[in-house]
Chain A
Amino acid sequence: MKRTVPLILAFISGIVMVIAFFCREGSLAENLSQEFLIWSSIIGGFSLLLGCASIVRVQWKHVSQQKSGWGFSVVTLAAVLISGLPGVFAVSWSPLFGRGTGSIYDWIFVYISTPMSGTMFGILAFYIASAAYRAFRARSAEATLLLITASLVMLWRIPMGEAFLGTISSHLVDFVNTYIMLGINLAVQRGIIIGAALGAASMSLRILLGIERTYMGRG
């Protein structure tokens, strides 16, 4: 039963979605697929409680056992409480509650969460530099080819670099655009995308027909 019911549910919901793609608006399949999407949002909303319970349990364990870096766990627990609770309290109690402009939740989001995310994103530039250093070290013929190609593409991507390439040869900019980016690069990308799309379709079909059960821990 524990094995069959999820398989039947996966088959029905999957086949409804597939049929809905080939049906016009107003058909039963289309309406059902919309219904399923709503159900999935509702289930997703309720499952947030699971996430909240998990984060509190794990972090509390870190604090109580004073594991390495337990101070971060205290900050995490405080962040969950401070950002979570005012967000779920009724706005009628105080304008600081709820999620509207001027609320505690909004203040934390605008002045703490967004700048911190931006900072993390900004750090990416340094990570790219260190990864590029390792990738472009000319240790072999292939790596040297990659280094030359990447240098040309990076120069081509910035206006000053493009102007510099133009001074070497007027055809160099067109060469990078036509042969490297729209030729070799695009062809390889399309190959990967077609392969990935077929892989995704094949896996979906296997799940739909109950052949692939490894995602349920069986197989």
Chain B
Amino acid sequence: MKNTHQAWERLVSAARSYPDERDVKAPYGFATRVAALAMAAERPVVSFVEHFSFRAMIAACSLAAVVVAANYSSIRSLYQEQTPVASDDPVAEMIDLAS
């Protein structure tokens, strides 16, 4: 067991003596590429769209409410005009006769 430990110590000692002369500077274009990818990924596109979708929905609902309010009398009269048309219906006439 002790021999094995010593053998491992000698092996790692030999391995450590191997000089690692590889460059540790970022390769050309690496930092630019990574920064661009990171910034593109970080931009909160979804929340931006969501934010404007919500605002657009509120605006659309408000506009619809304003349009309904402005044309309320027309809409109401249209509805009331439809009632006599319903009385042309033979079934409705029969019901009216029966009553």
Instruction: Judge: A and B partners, yes or no.
Output: no
Partner-B contacts on A (CB < 8 A)? none
